Amino acid sequence: MLDSFTAGNKIVVALNPHEKPNYCQLSRNDPTVDGVWEFRIRDPKPHVRIFGCFSECDVFVALSVMSKDDLVDRLSYPLAVADNSAIWGSYFPEFEPVTGEDINAYLSGSFAFV
C-alpha cells in the first residue's frame, strides 16, 4: 500500500470519514479539522491502520500504527485521532498539518476520489 502511494500509483481516497467504501485505501478521520488520515491495510492479515497527517501536498507523515482489531468500537477512532494530533504537536509544534476540503491540497497524483 505505501509502495503504491510513494510510486504514485492510483489509490482510492475518501475525504468523508463517514461515507467510504470498504475498498477505500486512504481516508480522513473525524474530526476532520485535526487533519489525521489513515492508510487502511487489509491484506495481509492482521489488518492495520497507519495514522498520520499531510505536511504538504503528497507528503504523508506516518505517526502511528494500530491493529484494526484494537480499534474495536466507534470510540477508538476519536481517541486515535486525538493521540495522533498530540504526536504531531509534539514533533512539529510550529507547523499545522494540511486540513480542508480540497483533495488537491493533499494529493496531486493519481487517485480515485470517493
> pLDDT-based confidence at 4, cuts 50/70/90?
confident
Nearest to 109 by CA among 38, 5, 26: 5
Range 92-113 average pLDDT: 91
Peptide bond into 78 cis (omega under 30): no
The residue range of the domain holding 31 is 2-113
What is the CA 56 to chain-centroid distance, rounded?
13
Lowest mean pLDDT, pick from 57-66, 76-85, 105-114:
105-114
Considering its fold, how many domains does the chain have in total?
Answer: 1
